[in-house]
Each structure stands twice: as structure tokens, then as C-alpha cells.
Structure 1
Amino acid sequence: MTAKPERPASSPAQALPVTFRPARTRAVLLTAGAAVFVALVVISVLLPNLSPGERTSFVFTGALLLGALVLLSRPKVVADETGVTVVNIATSRRLEWAEIVRVNLRPGDPWVFLDLTDGTSLPALGIQPGIAKQRAISDARALRALVDARSGSEAEGSADTDRNSGDSGDAGNSGDAGNSRATDAD
């Protein structure tokens, strides 16, 4: 295990890197996957009239289901000094702090959405309120605080002040709106 913290502190000046991931959802998926795999292997061993091909198909099916559940448990968001890495089910994307305009977790959202400077929105499945709603809200607020702190400091030091001041202004204004949205989800 590494020494990096899994749960973020409430201050934006916390130690980085910070990893946000739905721990309970991950535990449920991995436990269910292992249980299904073991059950299918045991069934393939205990049924007396199965041919070797049928036994292999039971084991292969269990491995396939376990693999699918491991893939579903993959999402996480890692924030470090230079930016954020969003790992979703099948993709991974690296973002610089200045690329993130806003962190959204509105009532009813299945996960956090990151509004980006190019006008698109990136789902961040690593923060999802499914099983642990309060943790997801606090994680979204912590990520929002990190974005506000890091984007603001980069905008001040950038040569392209017009673009970055607009971005940091949007992040500041929408951060307040996003914060009230996250509070509404309570």
C-alpha cells in the first residue's frame, strides 16, 4: 500500500496526491465478482456429469463476470500538484488544473461532472453518491476547493491573463453555485 491519503482533508492546502474513489461500491463489486467466480468454479467441480469443456466454460464464465465487475470498480479521481487524472470504466484522461472550470454534483446526478475550458463536460465516476452520499458530497467539495485553489493560483501567474481570469472568475462564481447544489443533495 502507498502512503497517499484516500480521504481528503477539508482544507485546499492538503497534501497531494489525493485519490477519490467510491470505496463501498468498489468493495461490493469486487466481493460479488469473487463470490460469483468461486461459486461457478465450485459448481463446475461438484457436478459429476460435466465434460472438461463444460467445466472450462463454467470457469471461463466466472472469470468473464469477475473481469466485468473489476472493470466496473476501476473509476477514481487522482488530484496531484500538476492536475487531475480521471479514470473511468474504459478510459483515463489527464487534466491540468487550468482546464477545469467547475466541479458539479447536483441532486440526482449519478456522479461528479467536471466542466472544462473547451466547453465540454467530463464525467468523473470516481466520485458517486450511490452508496455513500455524504462522502461523495464531501469529496466533491474537496475537489472543488482544490480546483478553486489551483486554478486561481495558475491564473494569476499566467501570461494569458484574459483567458485565465475569465476561467477563474467562472470557477469562483460557479463554485458558489455548485456548492449550494451539493448542499441541496444533502
Structure 2
Amino acid sequence: MSDLPQLPVTFRPAITRVVLLTAGVAIFAVITAVALLLEPLTPGERISFVFTGALLFGVLLMLSRPKVVADDSGVTVVNIAGRRRLEWPEILQVNLRPGDPWVFLNLSDGTSLPALGIQPGIAKQRAIADARALRALVEARSLHDPEPSPGASQG
């Protein structure tokens, strides 16, 4: 398959990330400016304004974390508050159905893992292309890592 992406490849919602980080910087700057410009505020109140701006920026920074990184040995899924490393054989299926907020990975242990790094929110066509690329990688890697046949002896 010549249309497979070069590994390693990172899938992430770039436009969403830019919007979140830009909003975070703007919110922090505005709240800090208000804290510095309001004369009747005490130093403690100014610090609380700046802390609130930093806290809001931190939340938006966490929301911008999601990504899916595929490399030769497997896939790393980074979601808002967690990270999970998967070997290629663990991923059975890559799903992005109409109306899904992000890709879901069906795993060999019977569970499904949301992969927020591929989400059709703002850039739907990009998310569909990324989901297809990840699906093609999973299918290609499952062909390269076949399970040993039950009748095969191990020497």
C-alpha cells in the first residue's frame, strides 16, 4: 500500500488546537490586564485574577492535548487526562461513524478506546482522512504481525 503515511505519524485536530490555545492566551492576557488596570484591587486580589486566568489557560491547554501517534511498534493515544500505549495487534478496528465525536478503537480485550486526537468537529474531511489512514495502518500492520497458527510447533 503506497498510500500509507510514513511512520511515525501524528494525528491531531490542528484547527481545534489553534483555537483553544489562542483563546487561552487571549483570556489569560485580558484577565491579567484587567487585574493590573483596576486600581482599587489589593495585591491579593490581583494575584487571584492572574491565578484565575492561568487556571483557565491550563484547562484549555489540557483540552488541546489529544493526539494519536502511530509508529513502527504501535499507537499511543493521548486524551485529555490520560495516555495509553497500544501494540498493533491490540487494535482490531478503527471506527468513525457519522455523528461520532471522535474515533473509537475496538481492542482485542473487548473494550473500545476513544481516540480524541481524530475528531470531526471543525475539520470533518481531515478527520475522515486521518481515520482512513489510521485504519489502513492497522490493517497493514495486522497483516505483518499474523498470529501463529494453532498447529505450528515452536521447536
Alignment partners' CA distance in 2, 1:11 and 1:19: 16
The unaligned stretches of length 5 or more in structure 2 are 151-155
Equivalent position amino acid for 1:83 in 2: G
Equivalent position amino acid for 2:130 in 1: D
Of 72, 76, 84 in structure 1, the residue corresponding to residue 75 of structure 2 is 84
Q: Aligned-residue CA RMSD in angstroms?
A: 1.0
Of 90, 96, 106 in structure 1, the residue corresponding to residue 97 of structure 2 is 106
Provide the TM-score with structure 2 as the length reference: 0.94
The unaligned stretches of length 5 or more in structure 1 are 1-9, 163-186
Cα deviations across residues 55-109 of structure 1 (Å, max 9, x unaligned)?
Answer: 0000000000000000000000000000000000000000000000000000000
1:142-161 paired onto structure 2 within 5 Å? 142-155=133-146, 158-159=147-148, 161=149
- Percent identity at matched positions? 71
Map of 1:58 onto structure 2: 49
Of 109, 123, 126 in structure 1, the residue corresponding to residue 117 of structure 2 is 126
Alignment partners' CA distance in 2, 1:104 and 1:15: 21
Equivalent position amino acid for 1:20 in 2: F
Q: Which has the higher helix share?
A: 1
Of 3, 6, 9 in structure 2, the residue corresponding to residue 11 of structure 1 is 3
Partner SS state of residue 69, structure 1:
helix
Alignment partners' CA distance in 1, 2:36 and 2:45: 10
Equivalent position amino acid for 1:94 in 2: R
Moved over 6 A (4+): none
